[in-house]
Amino acid sequence: MYRIKTLNKISAMGLSRLNRDRFQVGDDLENEDGILVRSAPMQDYVFPDSLRAIARAGAGTNNIPVDRCSESGIVVFNTPGANANAVKELVIAAMLVASRDILGGADWVQEQAHTPKVDVAAAVEKGKSAFVGPELYKKTLGVVGLGAIGALVCNIALDLGMDVYGYDPFLSVDAALRLDRHVHVVKEVDELYKVSDYITIHIPYSSSTKDFVNAEAINKMKGQVRVLNLARGGLVNDEDMIAALESGRVAKYVTDFPNEQIATVKNVIALPHLGASTPESEENCAVMAARQLQDYLLNGNITNSVNLPNVCQDWSGIARICLIHKNVPAMLTQIMTTLSDDHINVENMTNKSKKDYAYTMVDVNTRLTEEAVEELRAIPNMIRVRVLNH
């Protein structure tokens, strides 16, 4: 029986994917084998020796100490694309409220309606010009990051009659195939900056993307540009954005990650982290996270891990050995030599690496003794050895 600890409220639709004959699920379990989490901070979380995987029901994993997980042989999963439609729809809403002062106009109407002796209809006709703004039609949208969300945004913006430019230095073949052929994919982000009336950011947050939008980047953009950040707060330098708003170079800034500094600034539209806040998105993320966690614990397969390579292998033996190790030379040789010395025949094997770490899955035609497992664990640079029996 595998123990799965939940650190946030996880959609029942996702939890129902975990076979209750094989999994015990709860928020008060100890010595857990797996964790399902959304936004709960885990930087100081004490990992039990039993913990093998963490599945994040969402795309970002900055609340999880991924480096520490890798060192401990803990697989970290996320759910890319599960919330893509929800974020895409919010991007469209964000562009509209950044163009036409819909929010300000709605608030103003309420003020008129709650003011004694005001003829609301007459006031509206007289005051509506204060909330005028441009249409999206025939404007240029720049999309930074062309993954699951960025591709959807590009394609729907074309349907709205916009001219669309996209930039992604790590554009995959799958992502490229999702893009409409009318999207202008540029090799340098500066090309996108200089032509875009609207810019929306859809890249992961890391040390290399921190302050991706800063004073230098903003100075390369068109004047009166409207910037949207529904990805991660740290991607935009708040001080530089405030200066650009005050100078008028940026007309509006929509952020889904407000703080005390940015939320009260004029021409900032601050949303309460609504990107994936739909019941459909929460269900999609929970289902994907639960399935990935279950497949890893039961079968050793890895899909959508942020710290280890994707590896999926059909069962072809009596036992399966799952090995997490450093990505260094001669590891496969040592693994195979150890098995050969113990007269263990290999039926099938897959090995893949991701940066400093690698994952090897070996199907064998016999049960493994504890002595053989300990010999594998003793190989230098081996991090974790797990044996599954078919």
Active site residues: 232, 260, 273
**Per-residue tokens: 191:** 């090309």
Using CA atoms of 168, 171, 177, 180 in order, give the dihedral in degrees to the nearest 10: 10
141 contact partners, CB below 8 Å, separation of at least 6: 95, 153, 154, 157, 162, 163, 164, 165, 196, 197, 198, 199, 200
CB-CB neighbours of 213 under 10 Å: 23
Instruction: Provide the β-strand partners of residue 198.
Output: 141, 226
Dihedral class, residue 136 (left if φ above 0, else alpha if ψ from -120 to 50, else beta): alpha
What is the rounded CA–CA span in Å between residue 108 and residue 293?
49
What is the rounded CA–CA span in Å between residue 182 and residue 151?
12
381: helix, strand or coil = coil
What is the rounded CA–CA span in Å between residue 170 and residue 33?
33
CA 291 → CA 56, 81, 149, 284, distances in Å? 12, 15, 21, 11
175: helix, strand or coil = helix
